[in-house]
C-alpha cells in the first residue's frame, strides 16, 4: 500500500447496528429524512449523478398506490466491479436504504437487479434478504425484496431498458420523459438506485448529512468507491474522497509511467498525462472542463499500451452491446470501428479521423439513450489526444 493513500471506510465499515439505525430512521418523519438526503448532496453513483433525495421526493409525491424500489446491480460498465464488493460485504446497508425508500414512497415490493455474472452471489444474498425480512416484520414494515437476474446485456443497466427486461420484453430503452419516478417498472412510479447510492444512504441515516457533506467538493459530495484497474501495482476497490485531482490519483495508483487514465469506463473520458494536473474527479464534467464524473471505473494505461488497441476494444464492445433500436448508434458504432481500422491500415488518410469525430459528435446528440450518446466520450478523447497512434 502506498504511504499517502487516504482510504475511507464509510461504506465498507461492517457495522452491526442495522436494526437500531433502521428502527430509528423508520420512526422519523419522511420529509426530514428526505431533507437530510437532499442536504447531504448525495448524487446517484450509477453514472448520471441525479440527486438521490430529489428522486425519492418525486416518487413520494406520486399518488399511485403501486410503487417499486429497485437496486441496480447490473454493473456492466467495463472496469467497474465495486457493486459486487458492496453487495458481498455490506448488503444490509443496501437493503436498509431500499427499506427506508420503500417506507417513504409507499412501496411494498423491491428488487435487486443482479448482473448475470454475479449468480454466485445469489445464495448468500437470499440468506441476507430472508434475515432482513424478519427484521422488517419486527419493525412492522410491509416490504419484500426479490432478486431478479439480468441476462448479460450492458444496455439492461440503463434504467428503462432494465424495466423492459424485468417485464419480459427485449431490453431496449424507452423514450424519456416520462421518467421512472412517474413511469417505471410496470408503468408504476419507481425509484431505481445504484447499489453504492443505497449504501451511502445508510451512512447518512447513521451519521447525519453533515459528515457526508464534509467530504468531497462542491457538487460532488461524500466519498466514492472506485474500481482501479490496468497498469497499477495495486488494483482493487478503494473508497476515496470525491474531488481528487487525477495527478494525485496517478501518484497514488500509477506505476510511475502512466500515460492515460480512462475515467468512467468505455463510456467515459480518456485523460492524457498532460491534463492529469488540471482534471478533478467529480460530477458536472466535460473533458475541456476541470471535472470528470465516473461511476467508479478508473483504468490506468502506461506507455507500453497502444491507445489504438484500447479504442478498438471499446468500439468492439459498443458494436456488440448497442441494442440496435436507433440508427445513429446501431450504424454509427460500426462505422466508427470500420473507420479507425481503415485509417490504421492506411486505406484512409488521417483526415478521415475528422469525419469520424464529426460522426461521434452527431451520435452524442441524435442517439436515443446514454449508450449511443456516450460513445463520443471515449472516441473523441482518445482520437484527439492520441491521434498519432491512430495513423498508419
- If one asks whether residue 72 binds ligand FMN (CB under 6 A), the answer comes out as yes
- List 41, 53, 76, 79, residue binding ligand FMN (CB under 6 A): 76
Q: Are 237 and 82 in contact (CB under 8 A)?
A: yes
Q: Is 6 exposed, middle or buried (0-12, 13-18, 19+ CB in 10 A)?
A: exposed
Say which residues have a Cβ less than 8 Å from residue 144's Cβ, sequence separation at least 6.
108, 109, 110, 133, 136
- List 44, 78, 268, 282, residue binding ligand FMN (CB under 6 A): 44
Quote the least distance from Cβ 134 to ligand SF4, whole Å. 41
Residue 74, CA distances (Å) to 33, 84, 111, 243 in order? 27, 9, 12, 26
Residue 3 C-alpha cell reads as: 504511504
- If one asks whether residue 252 binds ligand FMN (CB under 6 A), the answer comes out as no
Looking only at residues 184 through 213 of this chain, which bind ligand FMN when binding is defined by CB under 6 A? 192-194, 197
- If one asks whether residue 75 binds ligand FMN (CB under 6 A), the answer comes out as yes
What mask of x and - would describe binding to ligand FMN in positions 351 to 370, judged by CB under 6 A? Answer: ------------------xx
- Indicate the length of the chain as a whole number: 392
CA separation for the pair 86, 150 (Å, rounded): 18
Q: Are 41 and 212 in contact (CB under 8 A)?
A: yes
Looking only at residues 107 through 166 of this chain, which bind ligand SF4 when binding is defined by CB under 6 A? 155
Q: Which residues pair with 292 in a beta bridge?
A: 281
Quote the least distance from Cβ 12 to ligand FMN, whole Å. 18
- If one asks whether residue 173 binds ligand SF4 (CB under 6 A), the answer comes out as yes
- If one asks whether residue 22 binds ligand FMN (CB under 6 A), the answer comes out as no
Residue 84, CA distances (Å) to 94, 227, 228, 265, 333 in order? 12, 11, 14, 16, 29
Contact region for ligand FMN (CB under 6 A) — 69-77, 88-96, 243-251, 339-347? 69-77
Contact region for ligand FMN (CB under 6 A) — 18-26, 138-146, 150-158, 256-264? 150-158
Quote the least distance from Cβ 324 to ligand SF4, whole Å. 5
Pick what 344 binds: ligand FMN, ligand SF4, none; C-beta below 5 to 8 Å, kind-dependent: none
Residue 106, CA distances (Å) to 52, 63, 130, 206 in order? 16, 10, 21, 22
CA separation for the pair 382, 266 (Å, rounded): 11
CA separation for the pair 137, 23 (Å, rounded): 11
Quote the least distance from Cβ 85 to ligand FMN, whole Å. 14
Contact region for ligand FMN (CB under 6 A) — 68-76, 119-127, 164-172, 275-283? 68-76
- If one asks whether residue 87 binds ligand FMN (CB under 6 A), the answer comes out as no
What are the DSSP E strand ranges found in the chain? 68-73, 109-114, 144-149, 190-194, 216-217, 220-221, 223-230, 236-241, 258-263, 269-272, 280-281, 291-292, 297-302
Query: Of 44 and 285, which CB lies nearer to ligand FMN in the complex structure?
Result: 44
- If one asks whether residue 81 binds ligand FMN (CB under 6 A), the answer comes out as no
Contact region for ligand SF4 (CB under 6 A) — 129-137, 201-209, 240-248, 320-328? 320-328
**Chain residues in the site for ligand SF4 (CB under 6 A):** 155, 173, 322-326, 329-330, 367-369, 371-372
**Chain residues in the site for ligand FMN (CB under 6 A):** 44-48, 50, 72, 74-76, 154-155, 157-159, 192-194, 197, 369-371
Amino acid at each position: 500500500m502506498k504511504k499517502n493513500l487516504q482510504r475511507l471506510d464509510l461504506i465498507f465499515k461492517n457495522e452491526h447496528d442495522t436494526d437500531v439505525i433502521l428502527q430509528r430512521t423508520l420512526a422519523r418523519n419522511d420529509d426530514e429524512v428526505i431533507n437530510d438526503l437532499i442536504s447531504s448532496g448525495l448524487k446517484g453513483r450509477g453514472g448520471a449523478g441525479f440527486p438521490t433525495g430529489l428522486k425519492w421526493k418525486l416518487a413520494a409525491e406520486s399518488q399511485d398506490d403501486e410503487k417499486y424500489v429497485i437496486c441496480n446491480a447490473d454493473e456492466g460498465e467495463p472496469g467497474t466491479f465495486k457493486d459486487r464488493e458492496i453487495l458481498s460485504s455490506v448488503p444490509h446497508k443496501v437493503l436498509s436504504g431500499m427499506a427506508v425508500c420503500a417506507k417513504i414512497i409507499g412501496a411494498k415490493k423491491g428488487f435487486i437487479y443482479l448482473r448475470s455474472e454475479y449468480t454466485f452471489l445469489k445464495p448468500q444474498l437470499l440468506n441476507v434478504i430472508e434475515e432482513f425480512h424478519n427484521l422488517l416484520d419486527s419493525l412492522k414494515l410491509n416490504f419484500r425484496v426479490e432478486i431478479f437476474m439480468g441476462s448479460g446485456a450492458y444496455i439492461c443497466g440503463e434504467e428503462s431498458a432494465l424495466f423492459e427486461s424485468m417485464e419480459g420484453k427485449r431490453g431496449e430503452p424507452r423514450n424519456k420523459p416520462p421518467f421512472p419516478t412517474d413511469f417505471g417498472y410496470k408503468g408504476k412510479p419507481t425509484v431505481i438506485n445504484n447499489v453504492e447510492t443505497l449504501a451511502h444512504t445508510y451512512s447518512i441515516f447513521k451519521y447525519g448529512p453533515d459528515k457526508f457533506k464534509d467530504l468531497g467538493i462542491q457538487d460532488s459530495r461524500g466519498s466514492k468507491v472506485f474500481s482501479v484497474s490496468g497498469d497499477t501495482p495495486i488494483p482493487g476497490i478503494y473508497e476515496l474522497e470525491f474531488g481528487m485531482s487525477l495527478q494525485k490519483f496517478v501518484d497514488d495508483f500509477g506505476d510511475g509511467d502512466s500515460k492515460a487514465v480512462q475515467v468512467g469506463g468505455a463510456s467515459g473520458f480518456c485523460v492524457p498525462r498532460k491534463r492529469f494536473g488540471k482534471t478533478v474527479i467529480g460530477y458536472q464534467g466535460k473533458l475541456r472542463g476541470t471535472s470528470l464524473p465516473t461511476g467508479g471505473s478508473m483504468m490506468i494505461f502506461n506507455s507500453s499500451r497502444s491507445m489504438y488497441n484500447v479504442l478498438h476494444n471499446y468500439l468492439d464492445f459498443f458494436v456488440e452491446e448497442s441494442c440496435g433500436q436507433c440508427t445513429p448508434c446501431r450504424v454509427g458504432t460500426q462505422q466508427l470501428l470500420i473507420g479507425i481500422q481503415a485509417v490504421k491500415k492506411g486505406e484512409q488518410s488521417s483526415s478521415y479521423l475528422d469525419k469520424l469525430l464529426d460522426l461521434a459528435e452527431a451520435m452524442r446528440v441524435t442517439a436515443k439513450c446514454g449508450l449511443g450518446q456516450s460513445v463520443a466520450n471515449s472516441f473523441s478523447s482518445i482520437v484527439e489526444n492520441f491521434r498519432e497512434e491512430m495513423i498508419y
